[in-house]
Amino acid sequence: MLLFAFIQICICLVGKEASVFHSGSERLVLLELQIGDVNKDIYYRDKSGFSNNDYLTLGVDQLPLFGGRTAVQCYEDFMLSFSTKFEPYLGNVIEEISIGLGPSGELRYPAHPSGDGRWKFPGIGEFQCHDKYMMEDLMAVASQEGKPQWGSRDPPNTGCYNSFPSGVPFFEEGNDSFLSDYGRFFLEWYSGKLICHADAILAKAADVLRRRQEEEKSSVMLVAKIGGIYWWYKTSSHPAELTAGYYNTSLRDGYDPVASVLSRHGAALNIPCLDMADSEIPEKYLCSPEGLRRQIHDVSKKWTIHVTGRNTSERFDEMGLRQIRENCVQPNGDTLRSFTFCRMNEKIFRVENWNNFVPFIRQMSADM
């Protein structure tokens, strides 16, 4: 498929980007902001009580707090309105629809908030489940398990945003660590909420599209974005992935359930980091964008879902572009369905950049 030949429309639901669409979404965003003014608990909170309005907490997905509608129903209203408005373009101009499933459209918790300065690379990040609704849910699930004491607290000793894993008990191997009964219970719950969220929203999206496509016979591909948490990947606890909601450790494949849910709804997976190589990152942070990509590729193959890709850093240099190409078109014939260069800017027109970019595009168009 030709690079850039599709229009990628991000339905970053109830995020700030939603306001670019004028069909009912603005009312939705306004409604959410008004409710958020009086009830900050509709947003994620960290353990210090800090919240921001990037995305609604998963705790409100099924609660009728928005003029009698649940968050998931509001997302559905938005999708219906979108598909009505853009109907003439579906399947011809619009070939892929990326469904926002979290902050920056990515299926994850906002565990690494760099925008407001709370987090800096390569901090492990913090769990985000301290709003009233998530804590109530945790309590309910713990009680069902017969362990109410597990529900009344968040995991102790998890460090803070900019901690490194060593010296943080939850990410090491002791009492109350990620390997303990309590640790596994908490991580199953935390990552499971994210999977349920993707399931609920993708089901609605697939349903809205199915209704359109029965009439039109044109096909549009749903896409879900995953975050690229590649730092501390080579530790056994994978702490930065755990706080983001990917329960991926040296003993458990956390991307398998993600791919499984996408496959159920016929959605493709959009993966980041296509421009990154392990050799370009300081070794001391135990990063591995290549290992992460390989793992996600493997589960995508297993669940036979399409994979699309995007860049993670700003690259116009030859080396970066070569890496992107190699990662899109692999020798064993696994070719990505498409690649998106996010937020293209005017630097592309500088002579040296343009001279790298033009041959890159020619080759990509021939390859994909």
Residues at the interface with ligand NAG (CB under 6 A) = 175, 233-234, 248, 250, 252-253, 291, 295, 311-315, 341-345
Nearer to ligand NAG, 75 or 339 (CB): 339
Q: Report, in Å, the least distance between residue 268 CB and ligand NAG.
A: 19
Tokens of 96: 């892929």
Nearer to ligand NAG, 209 or 296 (CB): 296
Q: Report, in Å, the least distance between residue 312 CB and ligand NAG.
A: 6
Nearer to ligand NAG, 72 or 269 (CB): 269
Nearer to ligand NAG, 59 or 103 (CB): 103
244 in the Ramachandran plot: left (φ > 0), alpha (ψ -120 to 50) or beta? alpha
152, amino acid identity: S
Judge whether 235 and 165 are in contact, CB under 8 Å. yes
Half-sphere exposure of 81 (CA within 13 A, CB side): 18
Please write down the HEC assignment for all residues of 97-110.
EEECCCHHHEECCC
Coil, strand or helix at 138? helix
Q: Report, in Å, the least distance between residue 177 CB and ligand NAG.
A: 10
Nearer to ligand NAG, 87 or 326 (CB): 326
Judge whether 94 and 7 are in contact, CB under 8 Å. yes
Q: Report, in Å, the least distance between residue 51 CB and ligand NAG.
A: 24
DSSP H or E run through 126: none
Q: Report, in Å, the least distance between residue 266 CB and ligand NAG.
A: 24
Closest residue to ligand NAG: CB criterion: 175
Q: Identify which of 62, 66, 80 has the alpha carbon closest to the alpha carbon of residue 136.
A: 62
Nearer to ligand NAG, 59 or 257 (CB): 257
Phi first, then psi: give them for residue 36, nearest 5 degrees. -60, -30
Q: Report, in Å, the least distance between residue 117 CB and ligand NAG.
A: 18
